Structure 1
């Protein structure tokens, strides 16, 4: 018996985060672990002693396959900022008392950067008190901004959605001969990986977006209008993809110039949004042309009907690898992907010290952004294209996809 296991999900959901949960669940079952608990709403829920036994929720092979295809966080998520144990040891004492009560030997957290910071703090505290519990991070984020890993589960499927939706928008817009400007806002605070994936829409049957703006490059409104007018010399419609987190040379978010003081989340991040709507209104007034803003918002992270098979498979592998590493005695680590080649696409998984990953943000390399800051290079295309390959069809019931939820 390898002891009891607990797993939680944290931060923004993705369309494949539950595949990582299945990887942990099946990996633990096959390894002969005891009870497998799931935190309801992550660490925040666990501190309230809200959890379930996953064997009661995932009962058969059909449940497994449906759960792999279910978007969002099956267990519920949270955005809970764990304080450092030197500032608030009471939280840690309470948490470790709960883990002792459940006889937990292995703790898994599926999440992004802030979640990896949580794993780092818990592993450090466990070492301080000589606890034998292992703490492992399972990567997840559509932003693809976790360091030390080639890419992050969740990104490939979100990129597939973005590129597919861009193709559909372009086809719809090109139907008309009317002069028009369409500005599409894509998630990405400080890293433009997801917005860059709009370039994948440039295929033999689609021109792709005309302009792409990432937060890695300072944004100038005057240059933006000039770039659009240059596009308009050659075609009636201009299609632009831009990150919600684009900012001017002073470091101010463009949406912040409209909203003024912005609300902060529990981690101190400014809550962005409506950049495309703001710019569309301005450009329409300044050019006199029809201008439309489109905000993908949560659609890009929950579109499991167009999930990447490769992404969902790798998400599962990340969960299973974390279990194997924990049972081998590893702790304070995160599963990472190492790429061997693009064509043919080859990767392998290993683990890396969480201390090198937590609170580090990986951005799009400068050399993968064109010199004028309005597109991405072929190197990015070669990197991203393999991540969107393959499909996994949902189980359809009465014309709609079937999902698994906790009753």
Structure 2
């Protein structure tokens, strides 16, 4: 590798996103890159010429290990949608002027669906203009909804946290008895894909019965049937624990959370901000049945709980970061690194690259066959798919009883 590398992070962060950043940095340096720059707040920050030299922050192996264990996006993230090339070429000209000034040979973008849209557009513009920089996507999303890859870095750690938290909530729900019962509704991230919510089933084991119901957004939600199911459960036990995706919808397409409040915020990609699904359903159950109910939103804890990270996830995140640099160095562009599952027992995986045009703006949903007939729980096939991804632990570096993260944070720095 003769030139420099620039890397950015985009979209919602994960507990493993910085492990991919560490993989990009280490592999780029090992392959002879002069400098490895980090965009501050992704492509949006690059347009403002905000970037850092990562060698000023990763100076020792301990720094690299701390980075792997640091949640959230070390470089800062963004949700910035590039215009279509024919709509605003000036934006692209500015980006490519900056890349040329920095002598960028490889542009690596760590992110999910919307980030792969960025890679697609930039690589297309490079082809049109004959620009030599190579553009590679590095997968990241707790939603696990990227096409053509078995799973995405970040998902395993989020699934581990969800399974653990649901199990602890189930334990807590049996502490007190109420005359008409207790219903706990746990709201889990997932707009269109239910991979995260399905992970609630991991709580089930020899010492735990698991959640009573699990609702994914892939199948329309029926409030009347939901109420009937809860009523049936409370005739047999004193408490019920239910996991629901934030994005569950009615037959008419309305989000359940819209029934309780209007959704005012829409991001650059047209995504509505979803919140309040569990609150609405808890109020509905309390009014319909007259029992005590509570709503629990795991919210950003799902993606920031690095103390509960999966070792498999952290290792694979590091590997895909390295694989992205390797692919660019060997001449690939307009591609995304994907993970192949080679074996379940023992679990083994590998990486390859796929055309980003077949990935961007697509979504991988939970197969209907991986849900039961009533679509209120997941099957063993789902659990068997997820379980290998949550294995192993990554011990935090503890200082005064609290995990230490890589510091200083470069958020306010930049050229």
> How high is the TM-score relative to the length of structure 1?
0.99
How far, CA to CA, are the matches of 1:336 and 1:46 in structure 2?
A: 25
State the 1:262 CA deviation: 3.5
Q: Structure 1 residues 175, 261: closer, same or farther in 2, change over 3 A?
A: closer
Q: Which of 370, 373, 381 is the equivalent residue of 1:371?
A: 373
How far, CA to CA, are the matches of 2:147 and 2:259 in structure 1?
A: 30
Aligned residues: CA RMSD:
0.8
Q: Which of 377, 386, 389 is the equivalent residue of 1:387?
A: 389
Residues 260 and 276 of structure 2 are in contact (CA less than 8 Å); yes or no, is this contact kept in structure 1? no
Q: Which residue of 1 aligns with 2:413?
A: none
How far, CA to CA, are the matches of 1:230 and 1:200 in structure 2?
A: 23
Q: Which residue of 2 aligns with 1:270?
A: 272
Q: How many residues align?
A: 407
Q: Which of 222, 225, 234 is the equivalent residue of 1:223?
A: 225
Residues 42 and 76 of structure 1 are in contact (CA less than 8 Å); yes or no, is this contact kept in structure 2? yes
Q: Which residue of 1 aligns with 2:318?
A: 316
| 251-260 vs 368-377, which moves further | 251-260
Cα deviation 1:124-151 (Å, max 9, x = unaligned): 0000000110000000000000000000
Determine helix, strand or coil for the equivalent of 1:335.
Answer: strand
Residues 38 and 51 of structure 1 are in contact (CA less than 8 Å); yes or no, is this contact kept in structure 2? yes
Q: Which residue of 1 aligns with 2:97?
A: 97
How far, CA to CA, are the matches of 1:265 and 1:259 in structure 2?
A: 18
Q: Which residue of 2 aligns with 1:353?
A: 355
Q: Which residue of 2 aligns with 1:338?
A: 340
State the 1:244 CA deviation: 0.1
How far, CA to CA, are the matches of 2:20 and 2:136 in structure 1?
A: 13
Gaps of 5+ in 1: none
Cα deviation 1:31-67 (Å, max 9, x = unaligned): 0111110001100000000000000011101100101
Gaps of 5+ in 2: 411-415
Matched, 1:46 2:49: no
State the 1:261 CA deviation: 4.7
State the 1:2 CA deviation: 2.2
Residues 263 and 273 of structure 2 are in contact (CA less than 8 Å); yes or no, is this contact kept in structure 1? no
Matched, 1:111 2:111: yes
Matched, 1:87 2:87: yes
Matched, 1:156 2:156: yes
State the 1:84 CA deviation: 1.1
How far, CA to CA, are the matches of 1:340 and 1:59 in structure 2?
A: 35
Residues 2 and 327 of structure 1 are in contact (CA less than 8 Å); yes or no, is this contact kept in structure 2? no
Residues 202 and 387 of structure 2 are in contact (CA less than 8 Å); yes or no, is this contact kept in structure 1? yes
State the 1:263 CA deviation: 2.3
How far, CA to CA, are the matches of 1:377 and 1:70 in structure 2?
A: 33
